[in-house]
Amino acid sequence: QVQLVESGGGLVQPGGSLKLSCAASGFIFSWYPMSWYRQAPGKERELVATISTTGASTNYADSVKGRFTISRDNAKNTVYLQMYNLNPEDTAVYYCYVFRAHVGYWGKGTLVTVSS
């Protein structure tokens, strides 16, 4: 019954900002690192960012370093992705992900479109 539900996607102009949320349930959220992936049309899914259980450590894809920030609120069972200075290459479906008990779980995704 692990569930990951993303929200916050939408249409934004180049240079704009968006904040995505992922609400988690069905497992002890604070025990697991969380990740954001994205997939653009016709391209492979790629890892965007990962955050450790406490939030003390984060990792980012080179393409988003300095522009995106991953964070988490363990009391709310929620992980966030704050995105700044968006460009059209950031257009993709963004997915929340957790690896638990030897199984990976995905949300259904939220679409981010960056366009003039």
What CA–CA distance (Å, rounded) separates 37 from 48? Answer: 5
Which whole number is the average pLDDT over 51-63? 98
The three-state secondary structure class of 81 is: strand
Residue 75: Cβ-neighbour burial (10 angstroms; 0-12, 13-18, 19+): exposed
What's the pLDDT at 70?
A: 98
Opening angle at CA 75, ends 72 and 81, nearest 5: 20
What's the pLDDT at 3?
A: 98
25: Cβ–Cβ under 8 A, 6 or more apart, which residues? 1, 2, 3, 77
What's the pLDDT at 42?
A: 94
pLDDT digits (tens, 9 = 90+) for 87-113: 999 999 999 999 999 999 999 999 999
What's the pLDDT at 82?
A: 98
Q: How confident is the model at residue 41 (pLDDT cuts 50, 70, 90)?
A: very high
Q: In the chain, what percentage of residues exceed pLDDT 70?
A: 100
